[in-house]
Amino acid sequence: VVVKCLHDHLADDAECVKMFLDEARLAAHLDHSNIVQTMELGQHEGRYYMVMEFLAGLSLAMIVRRAAERLPHMRIPVPLVLNLLAQACAGLHYAHEKAMNGKPLNIVHRDISPQNLVISFEGVVKVVDFGIAKAEPRETRTRSGPIQGNFAYMSPEQCLATHVDTQTSGLSLRFILPPMYTPRRLCHAPSPS
């Protein structure tokens, strides 16, 4: 397992604690082979933690980087790319359709990027980090003002802080495709810190 904790400098920030707890509660509802599993949420000596599935593998970002170093023409084979994206889509579709007590949770990840797709050494894709996901059961709303996420993979709606929905994740996945075929991303922009 992996234990995820808030950094010490954030543990006293009530808003950060609420966001951390929201992420853990939301992730605990998601039980799908293509989403990292959250097993427990707890508190020890005043510090919140969540226990998550350990993923033996590499992020898609690392795989793309290594492929660029080792493969001819810096391309990942098309059947492999399609398989990886199909698995990511399966996990996201499950999250998008998830309901509790007949009520949709309306989950939108909002941070789909090569860093948040982990591929196990067995070839299973796992969507990770629902920390800034939009969902109905959240107690907190993510900050207004500064945009959160990775600009290079955001939909225009997310960049403009307008309505985001399940199509936001689909567009983010489409932005992930070009770096798997070429050494360049569609756009280069610093992400908010």
- Cα distances (Å, whole numbers) of residue 147 to 62, 109, 134, 192: 25, 14, 13, 7
Q: What is the residue type of 179?
A: P
Could you say which of 13, 31, 111, 165 is catalytic? Answer: 111
With tokens 């997310």, the residue in question is 158
Q: Comparing C-alpha atoms, which of 114, 193, 96 is closest to residue 152?
A: 114
Q: Is 8 a catalytic residue?
A: no
DSSP of 31-66: --TTB--EEEEEEETTEEEEEE----EEEHHHHHHH
Residues recognised as catalytic: 111
